[in-house]
Amino acid sequence: MARIQIITDSMTDVPKEIKDRYQIKVVPLKVHFGDEEYRDGVDLTYSEFYKKLSETKELPRTSQITPPEFVEVFKQGLAEGKEILCINGSSRASGTYQSAVLAKNELDSDKIDVIDTLSLSFGGGMLVYEAAKMAEDGAAREEIVERLNGLRSKVDHIFTVDTLEYLRKGGRLNPMKATIANILNIKPILTVVDGLVEPLDKVRGSKKVIHKMIGLAKQRGGDFSNKTVALAHAIIPEKAEVFKEEVAVQLNPREIIFTEIGCTIGTHAGPGTLAIFYFR
């Protein structure tokens, strides 16, 4: 039985098998369609969410986890005699990390650490996964925190979106640029720098996008033979499968993790998003 309870939020898109295997607690952010509120990954399946997203005129709002919600989860872990390691999605994209810090301060316990991954989707999940494996191997909490702090700047995100519409609607992109890119069928390739989305490259047409993303990963990631690579998609399993086969052949990583992009990240990226994560 691990002495450390790993807690994360739903922004890190940790797949069910990793959650179950390491008994990771995932605290959901909330998604609001008008007056309806749903807990990310709890009240809506991903396919229901993306169906609603494509049918709605107005972009749903996402809301951060509150300090009392974290207090509740932290207390539960402490009551079970565990130390707490809470690993959150980027503090620059959501106030969730700040809520976890406030909860830790309120409980005033030296058995809680809160980490800002400055990453999105399974970019943050890479750190959750690393922490879970270390905790299972009996590493001390201080040791895990030190390792995660060292790895944080090495997490690489390379992703593409099917349309820039959602980034535009969410105010994450210049509207004019989004319109031009959509007309010219330009597929942006994006990354995350210091917790925020930045353009990395672009290709014309979706056929070339997988090839380009793998090329960028080779350039940026070096030798993959000993690395874990994670692939994430927003309800495009067939395309993700093709991506996976190409990654296996061209990068030949030690391990490939497959995950889906949940409601919180999906609200801003939209259906058809495809991503690869690894440590540089």
Query: Whose structure tokens read 């905790």?
Result: 135
Residue 24 has pLDDT above 70, yes or no: yes
Query: Can you give the pLDDT at residue 164?
Result: 79
pLDDT tens-digit map of 68-109: 999 999 999 999 999 999 999 999 989 999 999 999 999 999
Q: Please tell me whether residue 116 adopts helix, strand or coil conformation.
A: strand
CA-based nearest residue to 49, from 278, 275, 265: 265
| Best CATH choice for the domain 155-279 from the list 3.40.50.2300, 3.10.129.10, 3.40.50.10860, 3.30.1180.10 | 3.30.1180.10
CA-based nearest residue to 216, from 188, 186, 181: 188
The pTM assigned to this predicted structure is: 0.94
For the chain, the domains span: 4-153, 155-279
Tokens of 3: 């002495």
Query: Can you give the pLDDT at residue 172?
Result: 61
CATH class of the domain whose range is 4-153: alpha beta
Query: Whose structure tokens read 């996402």?
Result: 62
CA 209 to chain centre: 20
pLDDT tens-digit map of 151-191: 999 999 999 998 877 877 766 666 676 666 666 778 889 99
